[in-house]
Amino acid sequence: MWLYKGIMVLGLAALTACQWSPVYEKQDAQADAVTAQVQIEPIPEEIGRVIRQELINTLNPKNEDAKKAYRLTVSRVQETSSNVGIVTDNTATQAIMHLSATYQLTEMATKKVLLSSAARVASNYNILRKDPYATVTARENIKKTLSLMLADQIALQVAQTLKQLKNNGN
């Protein structure tokens, strides 16, 4: 047992010595300041509210009160589901949910479109014939998870675009 603990301590010390850091650790405090300048327009429906809130939390994690220089508009959030896992009595045992959105990042001063793209995510959930409530709950959980994933994809693209813009001296 002591050997195992010794190996763990040495391993952690080695990671610390090589300046190991988490993959998602923010290295640049200025990046937060730039992404805090993004004004996120309201997105219709409940799913849009979840996506917008996640975008706000991701792009401005410290809730800085920065002058807004960019506008992010997310539109056409679409949800589609298709049944898979069809069994012999022609009923589905699983469904795949797709969530997609188009979005545009605009510079407010010049009205120049900096980014115009789309994001799409998908996942599956079980359809339980004997427990419809569990199926509804699974569907709603997947919908929320996909909303968060979609927001993360959009936030990543926006941050990369703003970083490139900053590096180009604009």
- Contacts for 73 with CB less than 8 Å, ≥ 6 apart: 41, 103, 104, 106
The DSSP string of 12-74 is: HHHHHHTT---TT----HHHHHHHTTEEEPP-SHHHHHHHHHHHHHHH-TT---PPP-EEEEE
- Contacts for 159 with CB less than 8 Å, ≥ 6 apart: 31, 35, 59
Residue-wise pLDDT for 127-157, tens only, equals 888 888 988 998 899 999 999 999 999 999 9
Secondary-structure percent of the chain, ordered helix, strand, coil, rounded to 5: 45, 30, 25
Residues of the chain with confidence (pLDDT) below 50: 23
Q: Which CATH architecture has domain 34-167?
A: 2-Layer Sandwich (3.30)
Q: What pLDDT sits at residue 23?
A: 46
Rounded CA separation 104/48 (Å) = 15
β-bridge mates for residue 119, sequence order: 101
Rounded CA separation 39/73 (Å) = 9
Residue-wise pLDDT for 31-45, tens only, equals 567 888 999 999 999
**Are 163 and 31 a contacting pair, CB within 8 Å?**
yes
pTM recorded for the entire structure: 0.76
Domain ranges of the chain: 34-167
